[in-house]
Amino acid sequence: MNIYDFTVQRRDGAEVKLADYRGKVLLIVNTATGCGFTPQYNDLQKLYEEHQKDGLEILDFPCNQFGEQAPGSNEEIHSFCAMRYKITFPQFAKVDVNGENAIPLYQYLVANTKFEGFKGVGGFVMSQVLKHKDKDFKNNSKIKWNFTKFLISRDGEIIARFEPTVSMKDVRKKIESVL
Protein backbone atom coordinates (compact mmCIF):
# COMPACT_ATOMS: atom_id res chain seq x y z
CA MET A 1 0.00 0.00 0.00
CA ASN A 2 1.17 3.52 -0.76
CA ILE A 3 -0.18 7.01 -1.42
CA TYR A 4 -1.45 6.03 -4.86
CA ASP A 5 -4.07 3.75 -3.31
CA PHE A 6 -6.07 6.71 -1.97
CA THR A 7 -8.78 8.93 -3.35
CA VAL A 8 -9.46 12.41 -1.94
CA GLN A 9 -12.03 15.12 -2.55
CA ARG A 10 -11.43 18.35 -4.41
CA ARG A 11 -12.95 21.54 -3.03
CA ASP A 12 -15.99 21.00 -5.26
CA GLY A 13 -16.55 17.46 -3.96
CA ALA A 14 -15.24 15.63 -7.04
CA GLU A 15 -13.00 12.67 -6.33
CA VAL A 16 -9.31 12.72 -7.24
CA LYS A 17 -7.19 9.59 -7.34
CA LEU A 18 -3.75 10.22 -5.91
CA ALA A 19 -2.53 7.77 -8.56
CA ASP A 20 -3.00 10.74 -10.92
CA TYR A 21 0.14 12.17 -9.27
CA ARG A 22 2.26 9.08 -9.93
CA GLY A 23 5.83 10.07 -10.79
CA LYS A 24 5.63 13.40 -8.93
CA VAL A 25 7.27 14.38 -5.66
CA LEU A 26 4.42 15.34 -3.31
CA LEU A 27 4.30 17.57 -0.28
CA ILE A 28 1.04 16.89 1.56
CA VAL A 29 0.11 19.60 4.07
CA ASN A 30 -2.79 20.13 6.48
CA THR A 31 -3.40 23.85 6.63
CA ALA A 32 -5.45 26.56 8.31
CA THR A 33 -6.20 30.16 7.44
CA GLY A 34 -6.08 31.62 10.94
CA CYS A 35 -2.97 29.98 12.39
CA GLY A 36 0.37 31.42 13.44
CA PHE A 37 1.89 29.14 10.79
CA THR A 38 -0.40 30.39 7.99
CA PRO A 39 2.36 32.62 6.54
CA GLN A 40 4.06 29.36 5.50
CA TYR A 41 1.72 29.59 2.51
CA ASN A 42 4.21 32.16 1.13
CA ASP A 43 7.07 29.65 1.31
CA LEU A 44 4.92 26.84 -0.08
CA GLN A 45 3.85 28.95 -3.06
CA LYS A 46 7.44 29.98 -3.77
CA LEU A 47 8.55 26.33 -3.66
CA TYR A 48 5.72 25.42 -6.02
CA GLU A 49 6.56 28.17 -8.49
CA GLU A 50 10.22 27.18 -8.53
CA HIS A 51 9.85 23.41 -8.63
CA GLN A 52 6.55 22.42 -10.21
CA LYS A 53 8.42 22.13 -13.51
CA ASP A 54 10.74 19.63 -11.78
CA GLY A 55 7.82 17.44 -10.72
CA LEU A 56 6.82 18.89 -7.33
CA GLU A 57 3.15 18.99 -6.39
CA ILE A 58 1.91 20.50 -3.14
CA LEU A 59 -1.40 19.07 -1.96
CA ASP A 60 -3.19 21.34 0.51
CA PHE A 61 -5.79 19.89 2.90
CA PRO A 62 -7.43 22.56 5.08
CA CYS A 63 -8.28 21.26 8.55
CA ASN A 64 -10.29 22.88 11.34
CA GLN A 65 -9.29 20.44 14.11
CA PHE A 66 -6.63 22.61 15.74
CA GLY A 67 -7.98 25.66 17.49
CA GLU A 68 -10.77 25.94 14.88
CA GLN A 69 -8.31 27.92 12.76
CA ALA A 70 -9.82 26.95 9.39
CA PRO A 71 -13.40 28.19 9.62
CA GLY A 72 -15.51 28.71 6.55
CA SER A 73 -16.47 26.72 3.51
CA ASN A 74 -14.03 25.17 1.07
CA GLU A 75 -14.57 28.08 -1.32
CA GLU A 76 -14.14 30.72 1.41
CA ILE A 77 -10.87 29.11 2.47
CA HIS A 78 -9.66 28.91 -1.11
CA SER A 79 -10.61 32.52 -1.87
CA PHE A 80 -8.69 33.69 1.18
CA CYS A 81 -5.58 31.69 0.23
CA ALA A 82 -5.70 32.69 -3.43
CA MET A 83 -6.15 36.39 -2.65
CA ARG A 84 -3.87 36.69 0.37
CA TYR A 85 -1.10 34.24 -0.55
CA LYS A 86 -1.66 33.83 -4.31
CA ILE A 87 -1.58 30.04 -4.02
CA THR A 88 -1.81 28.10 -7.26
CA PHE A 89 -1.18 24.56 -5.99
CA PRO A 90 -4.10 22.14 -5.53
CA GLN A 91 -6.26 22.79 -2.49
CA PHE A 92 -8.68 20.02 -1.53
CA ALA A 93 -11.81 19.83 0.60
CA LYS A 94 -11.51 20.53 4.31
CA VAL A 95 -10.72 17.30 6.18
CA ASP A 96 -10.13 15.77 9.58
CA VAL A 97 -6.60 14.44 10.00
CA ASN A 98 -7.04 12.80 13.42
CA GLY A 99 -9.74 10.81 15.13
CA GLU A 100 -12.57 8.64 13.90
CA ASN A 101 -13.42 11.01 11.05
CA ALA A 102 -9.87 11.30 9.72
CA ILE A 103 -9.75 10.64 6.00
CA PRO A 104 -8.04 7.37 5.00
CA LEU A 105 -5.06 9.23 3.48
CA TYR A 106 -4.25 10.82 6.84
CA GLN A 107 -4.91 7.59 8.73
CA TYR A 108 -2.22 6.05 6.50
CA LEU A 109 0.22 8.95 6.93
CA VAL A 110 -0.15 8.92 10.72
CA ALA A 111 0.14 5.12 10.96
CA ASN A 112 3.33 5.10 8.88
CA THR A 113 5.28 7.96 10.46
CA LYS A 114 6.44 8.94 13.91
CA PHE A 115 6.31 12.22 15.74
CA GLU A 116 9.96 13.06 16.36
CA GLY A 117 9.45 16.21 18.39
CA PHE A 118 9.16 19.88 17.63
CA LYS A 119 12.19 21.68 16.31
CA GLY A 120 12.96 25.28 15.65
CA VAL A 121 11.94 28.51 17.27
CA GLY A 122 8.34 27.56 18.05
CA GLY A 123 9.13 24.08 19.28
CA PHE A 124 9.13 24.88 22.98
CA VAL A 125 5.89 26.85 22.73
CA MET A 126 4.15 24.08 20.79
CA SER A 127 5.29 21.50 23.33
CA GLN A 128 3.84 23.60 26.16
CA VAL A 129 0.52 24.07 24.35
CA LEU A 130 0.17 20.37 23.54
CA LYS A 131 1.26 19.17 26.97
CA HIS A 132 -1.97 20.62 28.36
CA LYS A 133 -4.16 19.06 25.64
CA ASP A 134 -2.52 15.63 25.36
CA LYS A 135 -0.13 14.55 28.10
CA ASP A 136 1.04 11.69 25.87
CA PHE A 137 1.59 13.81 22.73
CA LYS A 138 5.28 12.91 22.51
CA ASN A 139 4.50 9.20 22.33
CA ASN A 140 1.88 9.03 19.58
CA SER A 141 2.03 9.79 15.88
CA LYS A 142 -1.16 11.85 15.64
CA ILE A 143 -0.97 15.12 13.75
CA LYS A 144 -0.14 17.74 16.37
CA TRP A 145 -1.09 20.98 14.61
CA ASN A 146 -1.69 22.80 11.36
CA PHE A 147 1.04 22.79 8.68
CA THR A 148 2.37 19.32 9.37
CA LYS A 149 3.97 18.21 6.09
CA PHE A 150 4.63 14.83 4.51
CA LEU A 151 7.15 14.43 1.70
CA ILE A 152 6.29 11.63 -0.71
CA SER A 153 8.66 10.11 -3.28
CA ARG A 154 7.91 9.73 -6.98
CA ASP A 155 6.99 6.10 -6.31
CA GLY A 156 4.43 6.96 -3.62
CA GLU A 157 6.48 6.19 -0.51
CA ILE A 158 6.70 8.47 2.54
CA ILE A 159 10.17 10.04 2.73
CA ALA A 160 9.80 12.48 5.63
CA ARG A 161 7.42 14.09 8.07
CA PHE A 162 7.94 17.72 9.04
CA GLU A 163 6.24 19.22 12.06
CA PRO A 164 5.03 22.82 11.60
CA THR A 165 7.98 24.23 13.57
CA VAL A 166 10.57 22.78 11.19
CA SER A 167 12.18 25.58 9.22
CA MET A 168 10.87 25.93 5.69
CA LYS A 169 14.53 26.16 4.65
CA ASP A 170 15.01 22.61 5.94
CA VAL A 171 11.84 21.46 4.18
CA ARG A 172 13.07 23.06 0.96
CA LYS A 173 16.48 21.43 1.27
CA LYS A 174 14.96 17.96 1.66
CA ILE A 175 12.54 18.50 -1.24
CA GLU A 176 15.35 19.69 -3.52
CA SER A 177 17.43 16.65 -2.57
CA VAL A 178 14.76 14.29 -3.93
CA LEU A 179 13.76 16.27 -7.01
Q: Which one of 8, 25, 32, 35 is the catalytic residue?
A: 35
Question: 104, 73, 74, 140: which is closest to 8 by C-alpha?
Answer: 104
In order of 39, 135, 145, the CA distances from 130 in angstroms are 21, 7, 9
* 35 flagged as catalytic: yes
In order of 45, 57, 87, 96, 113, the CA distances from 16 in angstroms are 21, 14, 19, 17, 23
Indicate which residues carry an active-site annotation: 35
